[in-house]
Every structure is written in structure tokens, then in C-alpha cells.
Amino acid sequence: MEVHWTEYLPPLLEGAWVTIRLTVFSTLLGAILAFAAGVGRLSRNGALRAVSVAYIELFRGTSLLVQLFWLYFALPLAGQAVGLDLRIPPVIAGILALSLNIGAYGAEVVRGAIQSVHTGQHEAALALNFTPRQTLARVTIPQAIPEMMPSFGNLAVQNLKDTALVSLISLGDMTFRAEQIRNFTQDSVTVYSMLLAMYFGMALVLTAMMRGIEHSVGRWRPVRS
């Protein structure tokens, strides 16, 4: 029995909602991890700096797919070996893997943006008797954020595309639903064309949102004479 392409939309939209939630939650958590690791890498505390460097290099130097499989398949087995139940639901494993990955790449963006703040700003904060923590929170980070936004926008779009990997742990995202439809109908051209268009549309929306945020924080840049 022939199936009209419009009948593909309900399951694809159901999967799209999963994809959107994965993207939003993992991007937000990844941003938090990026700030923590990026600032930690510049810390004077040797232990904190070492932990930040280890996290960044580990997750930048290994495959996201392997990280996802390790969290979902290997971690529970490792837990069993020591008598712990470390099973993670697929959605949590997906969010964690995506967040840890984007956070590691974002940490280098944060580090570079912080180091790009002019030394004169730090000297002015010192003249005002700001503590290092006050200088970071009130001077450095507000001026560094506008420099981070273009790169963060690219990372957010990449993160959206990376969500397709969660279909490999049977999480019902957009790619997983598309594969189910293709297996049932054998209509690869239509299904994957719709999937391509949906990812492209979501990427356009996400790019527009990130540019809006970039524009709104642009006023934090210091006025240069």
C-alpha cells in the first residue's frame, strides 16, 4: 500500500520535538561547562587547572559517538563491577554526551575570549581595588561574552546536527523516526529529503536566535576611541 508523504509528518514532528529538547538542554548545560572549564583553565589553582585541561583534552580528543556509547553501554557495566547501578536513560545519556562534548570545545572559546580582553581593563579594575573574582565577574566576562557569541553560535548549530547520533541508542529523535519510516516504506528519497529540510530549517532558526543574542550582548563591548 502506497503511503503519501504527508503521513510521514506526524512521526517526524514527534521526533523533532525530541531533537529540540536535546539541543536546548545540552546547549545550555554545555555553555555552563564551557564557562567553568574555560575559567578553570586560566585559574592560578594548579589542581583546578589540571582538571579543566584533562576534561577539555579528553572530550576534544575522543569521538562523540564513542562518548555516547560509553555513557550508555559501558558505564552501567563498569558500575556492575563495583556493585553500583549506573544505568542511564537514553535521553539523559544523550544530553550528557552532547553537553560534555560541546562544553569542551566551548571552553577553548571562553579561554580565548577572556584572554582577548585588553590589559588596560584589568589595570583599571586593579586601580579600583577590585579583587580577582570581582574583576572576572564585573569586567572580564561581560566584555568577553560578545567575542564568544559567533563561535558559540557555530557550536550550537553543530550540536543540533550531532543530536542525530542519539538515534543509535534507540532514542526517538528525528533521525530515529525517519529511519523507522524508511524501513517501513522503503521511500528513502522522500524521507531523507524531508529530514534534510527539517534539520536545515531548525538550523536557520537556531542561527537567527544566536545572532539575536549576539546583537543584544554587543553593547557590552567597551567603546574604543
* Burial 33-42, CB ≥16 within 10 A → b, else e: bbbbbbbbbe
Percent of the chain beyond pLDDT 90? 65
Closest CA relative to residue 177, chosen from 189, 192, 162, 157: 192
Rg (the chain; Cα; Å): 21
Predicted confidence (pLDDT) at residue 222 exceeds the cutoff of 70: no
Per-residue pLDDT of 132-180, as tens digits, reads: 788 877 788 888 888 899 999 999 999 999 999 999 998 899 999 999 9
Q: What pLDDT score does 142 carry?
A: 84
Task: Identify the structural domains of the chain with CATH numbers, from first to last.
Answer: 5-220 (1.10.3720.10)
Mean pLDDT, residues 62-72: 95
